[in-house]
Chains A and B, each alone.
Chain A
């Protein structure tokens, strides 16, 4: 027997301190990505869904225009990119946590005394990587197949960067935040997906936002997806299209504020309610 346990008389002081949250978190990013890639359902759904949506909208509305001479393909690309971010962050994380809880993965993390921050780092890292890959695929298809013009100036790409990053962060922490409340993995999948689809209708992903009923616009304005979508429109649509927005402008300040507020709300809810297991502990 080569495996030996520590002599039982060993006092705690003889044992080096356990590794920190960052080190474990970095190891978890690799683990999360590996598990993600080995879940064909996840991969196909989060990569194919936005592209298929783009194909459908391109076929149905191809060549039509909305508002101040904006092509539908361009308008909806923004919504699909925003939806894609919600899909790989909020939806994927919320469903994955429910599955991990059922599989016993979270119970093991609890027994190992894993710092919750390490878990969040792993999730966020995985979401950033998968979202970046998904957006790259979506933009490539949009650009090559539908001639959607890609921004040529740095300013717009910077806008794309901060809007996407805030969306990813909000989606990740909110996905973790809802996990204690969604029940079984099956219920989580149905509930989170259903909620996301309704939110997409309200937030101007499937329809032109300015043409939605006012009450719907007001409900949508509470949630991050509407702002994420609007932020993406400011990246992919020409400046004159801002006149077609409800406020008549891109409202970058409000967008940053609302998305930032959701990140903070998500973090607070996570800290207060996150549990490795159901029930106690």
Chain B
């Protein structure tokens, strides 16, 4: 077992945070392993930002156990803080310093830092290097924040909704920056409410709902049983027939065996997308598309 040798980058047990008596985070458990990209997915108000801010040492917790790079963030010192990078959810308006001046200045805050030119190139701001931060677009300022967060070569990077408000092109550019960081070995914990982002970037996706982790899995395994139910659909007698099954191959074989001239117009077999699974996990959609979920034996019976 490797987990007994290497402690996770982030370990959370039973985290609780209350605002005015209401628990925003309510018994959350979380493990982020070294070197992985973990996406915390959830609707607005689910407790994503609160959780991340507690991990960053910006907020106090009301209960539970939290270790980030082996330390309690509530008492994390400068040496600990030097090992983490943070891109906060809100980006400021920016000041009168240019991109290059900003990065040159903040290099003085680290014991060792990346070259300014390389950072600027890595986040795609080369052409805006001489532009004052206050005059950058929102997406560009966000990328400047990312450059600043990676300047001190952090081992663990927190990104809170890094691409919210970015146009699709800027989002893609952003993703490639994160993928390069990941291949460099940086552990990344990001929050998002974009499912495609989680699917694209993350090794592990955690769905957070009402202050708890509803599910944790690699993006293509998310949802477990929910994900295994395929929907077989075809046209018959002027309408569509739909069968939900965990064994679509069996259903298809039975369908094809119904007769020699079995014609199945518009036949489709679909597995639920991450989005559908997500919506079900956070309780925003019914458990299955049909009112009852027939088992594959029921389907076979119905077909015979």
Residues of A near any B CB (own CB < 8 A): 1-10, 12, 15-19, 23-24, 27, 30-31, 34-35, 38-39, 100, 102-105, 107-108, 110-115, 277, 280-281
A-B contact pairs, 27 of them (CB 8 A): A3-B118, A3-B180, A3-B184, A4-B184, A4-B185, A5-B185, A8-B9, A12-B69, A12-B80, A15-B111, A17-B111, A19-B110, A27-B108, A30-B105, A35-B97, A103-B95, A104-B94, A105-B92, A105-B95, A107-B92, A108-B148, A110-B58, A111-B58, A111-B86, A111-B149, A113-B78, A113-B81
User: Which chain A residue lies CB-closest to B109?
Assistant: A112
Distance A24 CA – B92 CA, assembled complex (angstroms):
22
B34 touches A15 (CB 8 A): no
User: Which chain A residue lies CB-closest to B91?
Assistant: A104
Distance A74 CA – B112 CA, assembled complex (angstroms):
54
Q: Which of A8, A39, A112, A115 has the most CB of B within 10 A?
A: A8
Taking CB atoms, residues of chain A closer than 8 Å to B69 are 12
Judged by a CB distance under 8 angstroms, whether B154 is at the interface is yes
The distance from the CB of A280 to the nearest CB of chain B, in whole angstroms, is 5
Residues of B near any A CB (own CB < 8 A): 6, 9, 34-35, 56-60, 69-70, 77-83, 86, 88, 90-97, 101, 105-106, 108-112, 114-115, 118-119, 121-122, 148-150, 152-157, 180-181, 183-187
Q: Is the interface of A mostly helix, strand, loop or mixed?
A: loop
Q: Which of A1, A30, A100 has the most CB of B within 10 A?
A: A1
Taking CB atoms, residues of chain B closer than 8 Å to A7 are 185
B184 touches A1 (CB 8 A): yes
A107 touches B155 (CB 8 A): no
> How many residue pairs, one in A and one in B, have C-beta atoms under 8 Å apart?
130
Q: Which of A2, A27, A107, A112 has the most CB of B within 10 A?
A: A112
B79 touches A23 (CB 8 A): no
Q: Is the interface of B mostly helix, strand, loop or mixed?
A: loop
The distance from the CB of A18 to the nearest CB of chain B, in whole angstroms, is 5
* Interchain CB contact (< 8 A) of B111 among A16, A30, A111: A16
User: Which chain B residue lies CB-closest to A111?
Assistant: B86
A31 touches B185 (CB 8 A): no
Taking CB atoms, residues of chain A closer than 8 Å to B110 are 18-19
Known contacts A6-B185, A113-B82; A281 and B96 CB within 8 A of each other: no
Other A-B pairs, 15, CB within 8 Å; known A12-B83, A113-B78: A1-B183, A3-B119, A4-B184, A5-B181, A5-B186, A6-B185, A8-B35, A8-B156, A16-B111, A16-B112, A18-B110, A24-B108, A107-B88, A108-B92, A113-B82
The distance from the CB of A118 to the nearest CB of chain B, in whole angstroms, is 9
The distance from the CB of A92 to the nearest CB of chain B, in whole angstroms, is 15
User: Which chain B residue lies CB-closest to A6?
Assistant: B153
B81 touches A112 (CB 8 A): yes
Known contacts A1-B183, A2-B118; A17 and B79 CB within 8 A of each other: yes
Taking CB atoms, residues of chain B closer than 8 Å to A281 are 57-59
Taking CB atoms, residues of chain A closer than 8 Å to B118 are 2-3
Distance A102 CA – B51 CA, assembled complex (angstroms):
23
Distance A100 CA – B150 CA, assembled complex (angstroms):
22
Q: Which 7 A-B pairs have the closest CB atoms?
A: A104-B92, A113-B81, A38-B96, A5-B186, A16-B111, A27-B108, A5-B184
* Interchain CB contact (< 8 A) of A111 among B56, B70, B155: B56
Distance A30 CA – B6 CA, assembled complex (angstroms):
43
Taking CB atoms, residues of chain A closer than 8 Å to B91 are 104
A31 touches B109 (CB 8 A): no
A103 touches B187 (CB 8 A): no
User: Which chain B residue lies CB-closest to A10?
Assistant: B155
The distance from the CB of A185 to the nearest CB of chain B, in whole angstroms, is 10
A12 touches B79 (CB 8 A): yes
Q: Which of B115, B149, B153 has the most CB of A within 10 A?
A: B153
Distance A100 CA – B86 CA, assembled complex (angstroms):
19
A5 touches B154 (CB 8 A): yes
A102 touches B93 (CB 8 A): yes
Distance A77 CA – B80 CA, assembled complex (angstroms):
52
Known contacts A5-B155, A31-B97, A280-B58; A15 and B83 CB within 8 A of each other: yes
The distance from the CB of A278 to the nearest CB of chain B, in whole angstroms, is 12
